[in-house]
Amino acid sequence: MRNAEREKFKILLNHWIEYNKEHSQEFREWVEKAKGLGKAETCDDILEAAQEMDKANDALLRALRTLAGC
């Protein structure tokens, strides 16, 4: 991989990680709002989505570390 491509890839990975963090936090805020509506199943589903987003970030962080080690 050329240096220019590697740098662009690093920028993209960092962008995706930050984007996912923001959305995961927003999901969790909506879980709290859904609790106020008495919608436990909705809360569970949104929380699961936030957790999956966190897992995706773990994979993206590993990819970033691997790329840095190239």
Residues 6/70, Cβ–Cβ less than 8 Å: yes
Residue-wise pLDDT for 46-68, tens only, equals 999 999 999 999 999 999 999 98
In the chain, where the domains are located: 21-65
Residue-wise pLDDT for 1-59, tens only, equals 788 999 999 999 999 999 999 999 999 999 988 899 998 999 999 999 999 999 999 99
Residues 47/27, Cβ–Cβ less than 8 Å: yes
